[in-house]
Every structure is written in structure tokens, then in C-alpha cells.
Chain A
Amino acid sequence: MIWFGNVSKRYERGGRLAVDGLQLQVDPGEIVGFLGPNGAGKTTTIKMLTGIIPPDTGEIEVDHRSMIRSPLEAKRKIGYVPDQPESVMRITGREYLHFFADVYRVSPAEREDRLVQYLERYRMEDVIDELIQGYSRGMKQKIAVIASLLHDPAVWVLDEPMVGLDPHAAKVVKEEMKWRRDHGKTVFFSTHVLEVAERLCDRIAILQQGRLVAVGTMEELRRGSGVGIADEETLEQLFLELTE
């Protein structure tokens, strides 16, 4: 479960709000897509959710643990795929994954199991012992995805996960999202690919200049918009209307 309680964030004193009074809940067994134009504040929201930057005001809970008061416990519940997969260190993919397993305290048996399974699923066996530096963008993205899954997190948070993935890997990620939802986990991701959001998400949240302008199922969004030709309206039309 993810819960944002009236969260606001301003980067510079006196500057404008990057996130403005965000109120949102994502339940277990649910995939929620996070949409919005460039600079709407999606990444900022996700960084606050994962504890990378603190919110100015408001409360954030992950699986009933406060990110502000007990950040370590909350962080342990999250698997996070950042928007820029630039992995920072000159280490090999395997070392990187083991680091994550260590930090998230994955037992050796589970670690081996999952590692083999995910490496095969994402077709990374061949390059896993090479330096991450030499990876292509998609490979970096895949390594980040695998790293975020090793500890079987209750909450999976992805920032534009589809960027750079080949069709096969993109499909695997989408399947993974569905699988996790069906097993009672929470999935929250931002994207610009509206088709993916439309087909995959149980609910959709649209952010505009730091404000939540719409949240609900496709059905609810269509009804709420009040404009369109009801059923026929695509998410694209909705999105463009809402974020005008």
C-alpha cells in the first residue's frame, strides 16, 4: 500500500511548488499509472515516495510504515526503478545485483534462485559479468529492474520503466506487473506511453503542474471528463483535454 497525505514539495525557497498537496492512495493488488506532461512532478513524487528527497509538508506511508518517521523500514518494502538507469559505479552487473541483495537482506538461497530466474527471463545471462558501464541503455534499465525485484518487494515503484526496453523485455515487465498485482502487491509507475497505461492499469492518476487533476479507473475518468463521446474516448484524448 502507498499513501500520500497532502504532500507538497518546493525545490527552491520562494520557487513554485513542484508537487502541490498530493493526496493519493494505492492499494495492494492494484496497478496505478502515473501520467502527466513533462515537468509535472512525477519524478519528484516518486523520489519522495522512495525516500530520496524529503517532502516539505505532508505524510507518506508505504505498507503502513511512515517514510518520514521510520524510513529504513519503509524503504525495505519498496523496489524502485529510477528514471535514469545510469548506474553510477564501475562494477559488473553481478556485483551490482549482489549489492542489492545484501542491502535488502535477501538470504543466499533465495538470492541464487531469483537471480537465475530473472537473468534468464530478461536475457541478461551473457552480459551479467561485464561492467555496467559498457551496457546499452536498455540493458542498464533491465539490470535496475532485476535489482528492484530481488527482495520481492511489497511495493514496486517504477519511473518510466518502458523507456529503452525492447519489445520482449517490455512484455516481461508488463507481465511482472500483472503477476505482482495478482499476488496482492502494489505497483505504481509513471509513464508517457498511454497505451500501456490504458491496458495495464487498474487506476490512472494524472498530474498537472504538481496537482492531481484526475484519478480513477478508465471508466471513471471518461465519465468525469464530461466531454467526450463516452466509451469511444481514448486515454489520449482524455489526457490532452485534462492537461490542456
Chain B
Amino acid sequence: MMRGAWALFEVIVRGQYGLSYLTERYKKNIDSRWEIPATLVLLVLLEWMIVGVYQGAYHLLSLEDHPGKVFSILVLGAILWVFFSSVAHMMRQLYFTNDIEWVSGLPLSSSEVLGARMAGVWLGQILVLIVLWLPGLILYGMQLHKGVGFYILVADLMLSLPFFPLVISGWFVLVVVRIVPWGKYRQQIERLLSLLFPLFSFIMIMSINGFMMNAGASGSFTWITKLLDVPNTFASYFYPLHWAFGIGSNGVTAWVNALLFDSFSLCMMVVFLLLGAPLYQRGLQMFRNSSGSQRYTRKKGKQGLRSRSLFRLMLKREYHLLMDTPFFVAQTLVQLIGLPLFIAISFIRGGGIEENEPISVMFQMVILWGSVILCLLMGGMNSILRTISREGRFFYLSKVLPVPYKVQIAAKYTFSMMIMMFACLLVSVIQGILISDWILASWTLVLGILTGSLFSQLGILHDLWRPNLTWQSPKELAKQLGLGNLLFMILSLFLGGTLIFLSWILLKFGKLSFIEIQGIWTLLLIGLHVWTGKGVIAIANRRYQTIQG
């Protein structure tokens, strides 16, 4: 029984986590070996930032005073994180991967298939926990001078912690698929479901935010005490959480708790695999019956009959490339709406800036460039970084279509800019409302669009340089994006920081006024555009020819 499941798990890991792909690439082209140290450096940088966040948090929570409670918060946070972030992943892994049919012809029981797929999700979650949570736990151990035993238990916790939340989200997914009436509306429902995770996280963030703000209103530090009690409230509803929290205690108690928690998690998983299997089987069948019907009945409408300009056609194609994949839509939406809404709401609940105090020029500058960075982060990232890769296996179409590459690139750029401009508009309007300085807001809009345009070009070049045209699922593409995204983030922070610094110098030593300084930046950016615009098209034209679709 185990062997088949293990084989499937192995294939999932090799295939979906790109292990075979990476080893093959590593073996073949030596020239890209620098990517490994580069990734490591970025990772170290990221970890360093994360450790910084934990340090701040521990200080705020005054770790030494109640170590047990802080540990509980860490564990509870990880459990909630795994639950929320795994729902969408699980859904895709169980029902939407394109190997579904292939696997169902194999002599594997549905428990085995379910087990292997769960294990795939589990592994992904462990990796995330190691990146996000492990630094926190290690720092915790170091600050409290814990012994070796603690670290062993933490290592064990990394492995066993995802079990329980995964089982819960697993049940959730199995039941949802069973009760949702697929059939005709499959695509629409898929679209809705892919919004689930963003929605969940959003609700989570909002409620945490609201909780802190509410608590904050009644006294500056009471919300911390309240926060420290949250894990116990959870545990009072669900006893096994006590065991998980208890792993942080000292001596034998910790080991006993770990043992209890691990066996509990294991039992949950086994029960899930046994009882969930028939449910999974039936869900799959129902799903498979309705699957593909879209392929046969999709209405093409009458578009394309009217003649349009090539550019508009290409623009429309870009639109469909993004909108027809629910995952991409969700990503873009989260970026566009989630972040600013969150900031706006915290701002409003925090009471906003004291209005009668005049804002210093320097502060204006910081707000301005901070907002510009925000624009970049919202409009940039995923959506403009992958304009070519998004085409995936159908990239060959771009090369076959009788449309000049220049027009295609221009369409890609324009589409990215439409998203970017929307982001800029949103940010400047929110900014205007919050600090009621509409002149500053319009500067934000102008400078945001100008820098955004530069970044869009950069994004296209970045993607042209090494596109991924062989992804099997959009999630895979998104995962691969990590490095690019990180670069993008660092670059925009760097740019913002530098400009703020230079503005400060101009202000202090050049004795220039706000308008003069911003005028300089505007002119500089416009000038840059004249230069890059031509360059990008020329380079893109050349690269287009050499990319193998």
C-alpha cells in the first residue's frame, strides 16, 4: 500500500517542486550556477529581515516576562497560517492538477492518491514554515537560553505542526467540492474559489487589525495582554492545542506534550486518509464527468470578425491572457486592492495624522516616495513581471502571428501600465483623502506613473531575459516568481530610499524647494524614458527572435 503512494509522492515532489528540472538545468548549463549563490544571498537577506521583525515583536511582547504565552502565539500563528494558506493549494492539488486523469488510470487506491497529494502539500507547508517560522523559534530559544532539547522539539514541531491544520483544510476542500454543483458553471466557480485564500487572509488580517485597534483604544498596552491570551482562548475550544503549546515548556513536560501532539496529529491524518478517500473518489468522479464539457461547448462569440487595429487586438489578447486564468486574476486583485485597503483602514482606525500640525517638507517627501513605492509594489510584482511567461506553452502563437514583435511588446507594456496606472490612481486618491493634501497626491500620481513605467519596462526585460514558458499550473509560475519578486521589491525600496536621501541632500544643502526638487525628478524620469523606450523595443525585438517557445 505504501509503495504506490510513496512513488506518487516522489513524482509530485520531483515534478511540481521542479527538482528534476533544476537538477537537469544544473547539470546542463554551467553559466547559470551563479543563481544559486544569488538566491542564497537573497534568502539570507530575507531571513535577516524576518529575524528583525521577530526581535521587534519579542521586545514589544516582553518575551522574558511570559515566554510560554509567546511560544503559544507562535504555534497558533503557524497553525492558522497553514490552514488558510493550504486551502487553495489543496484544492488545486486534489482536483485541478492536470495529472488527474493520468493518475486515475493507475492501480492506486484513492487513499494512496489522497495520501501522496496531501504529502505534497505538507512538504510545501514545511518549507514555508522553515522560512517564516523557524527563525522566530530559534531566536526564541536563543533569547531564553534553551538547551538542545528545545531545538530537537522545534525540528519535530516543524514536521508535525502542519498535519492538523492540513487535515482541517482537507476536510473543508473535500466537502466543498462535494456540495458545490459543478457542471455548467465550473469555470465561474473555479474563479470564485481561487479568491478564497485572498479573502480568508484578508478577513484574518482585518480582524487582527481590528482587534489590535479596539484593544489599543482602551489603553496603550492592554492589547498586548489581550493578544497574549488569544492562544488560550483557542485552546479552551480545542483541547489538543494545549499539547502543541506545551512543547515550549521545560523538561519532561515538553517531551510528553510533543509526544501527545504528534500522536494526535498522526491519528487525525490517518482517519482523514481512511474516511476521506471515498469522499475524494466520488468528488473526483463527479468532477471528471463535468470536466471538459467547457472545452466542447465554449462559445466563441463573434469577436474577431470585425477588423480592428493590430495593437488593439494584441491588447485584448493580453487582457485574456490575464483574465482567463483565475489564479492570475486573484493575484492581481490581492495586490491591487488588499494592500491599500489594509493601510487605509489601519490609518483611519488609528485616527490619521494630526491635521492641524503643518507637515514638514521632508515628511512630505517621505510620504510621496513611500506612496510611489507602494504604487510600484501594487501595480508591479506578479502582474508586470511575467507578461511573457504568462503565455506559457502558447508562446509559439506570438511568434506565428503576423504581428510585428514591436506591436506585441507595446501591447504588453500598455497592459502593464494600465494596471500600474490604476494602482497609482488608487494610492493617490487614498493619500489625498487621508492627509487631504491634493497637490501632494497629484505629485504621487505623476511620479508613480513615471517610475511605474520604468519598472514595467524593466519587468518586460527581466521576463524576456529568462521566461518560463513550460509551466504546468499557474501556481508553479507564481512560485518561480519568488526571486524576481524579491529583486523587484528590493529595487523599488532601494530606488525610493535613494531618492528620498537625494531629496534630503538637495533640500538641506541645495536649498531647493519641494516643487523644484520634484520637478528635477520628473524631468529626469522623462529623460530616462526617451532613452529606455527605444532601447527596450530594440532589445525585446532581438530577444523575441531567440526565445524558444
Contact = CB atoms under 8 A, between A and B. Distances in A.
Interface of A: 11-13, 47, 50-54, 71-73, 75-76, 80, 82, 87-92, 95-96, 98-99, 102-105, 130-131, 133
B288 interface: yes
Contact of A89 (B292, B293, B472): B472
Interface of B: 3-4, 6-8, 10-12, 14-16, 18, 20-21, 24, 97-99, 101-102, 104-109, 183, 285, 288-290, 292-293, 470, 472
Contacts of B20: 90-92, 95, 131
A88 B293 contact: no
B106 A89 contact: no
B8 A103 contact: yes
| B contacts with A: majority SS | helix
Given A51-B105, A75-B107, A133-B470, A91 B15 contact: yes
Nearest to B470: A133
Please list the 10 inter-chain residue pairs (A to B) with the smallest Cβ-Cβ separation, ordered nearest first.
Answer: A89-B15, A102-B7, A75-B107, A88-B99, A76-B107, A91-B20, A50-B105, A52-B105, A91-B14, A90-B21
A80 B102 CA distance: 10
Contacts of A91: 11, 14-15, 20
Nearest to A13: B183
A31 to B, nearest CB: 21
Given A12-B293, A54-B285, A103-B4, A95 B14 contact: yes
Given A53-B288, A98-B7, A102-B3, 14 more contacts: A11-B292, A50-B105, A72-B108, A75-B105, A82-B101, A88-B102, A90-B16, A90-B21, A92-B24, A99-B10, A103-B3, A103-B108, A105-B3, A131-B21
Contacts of A92: 20, 24
A33 B251 CA distance: 71
B350 to A, nearest CB: 47
Contacts of A88: 15, 97-99, 102, 472
A122 B7 CA distance: 25
Given A12-B293, A54-B285, A95-B20, A89 B107 contact: no
B3 A52 contact: no
Contacts of A96: 11
Contacts of A80: 105
Task: Name the residue in B10, B102, B106, B183 with the highest tally of chain A Cβ atoms < 10 Å from its Cβ.
Answer: B106
Contacts of B11: 89, 91, 95-96, 99
A142 B389 CA distance: 29
A77 to B, nearest CB: 9
Given A11-B293, A102-B7, A89 B99 contact: yes
Nearest to A87: B102
A87 B106 CA distance: 14
A94 to B, nearest CB: 10
B24 A131 contact: yes
Contact of B104 (A13, A51, A99, A131): A51
B24 A130 contact: yes
21 contacts: A11-B293, A12-B183, A50-B105, A53-B285, A53-B288, A53-B289, A75-B107, A82-B105, A90-B18, A91-B15, A91-B20, A96-B11, A99-B10, A102-B6, A102-B7, A103-B3, A103-B7, A103-B108, A104-B107, A131-B20, A133-B21
